[in-house]
Amino acid sequence: MSATHHEHARSSSRASALGRPLHIGLMLMVAAIVGFVLLREHWDQVAGNWALLLLLPLMHLLHRHGAHGGHGKPVDKPASGKE
């Protein structure tokens, strides 16, 4: 009885291991098709702004996280006018 249980566990692990590359490949193919369609439909916008698109990763890397609210020390609020 334990031999059958081990065989079943081994075959299910093989099926899941074989399914992962298939799912990854399928997701990559769908992403490539969607990217191609989007690029084809919006080529004039992409071609007109290619320099800005090249700068996007650089801007992301150089982004200062303290530049927007919520990350620094709290600022003291001024009194409400009654003193």
Mean pLDDT of 15-24: 75
Closest residue by Cα to residue 71 from 60, 63, 79? 63
Distance CA 30, CA 42 (A): 18
Distance CA 74, CA 83 (A): 22
Tokens of 74: 């709290």
Instruction: For residue range 48-70, list pLDDT tens digits in order.
Output: 888 888 888 888 888 776 555 55
Does residue 26 carry a pLDDT above 90? yes
Please report, for residues 22, 25, 27, 28, 43, the alpha-carbon distance to residue 15 in angstroms, rounded to integers and kept in the order given. Answer: 11, 16, 18, 20, 41
The one-letter code for the residue type at 72 is G
pTM more than 0.75: no
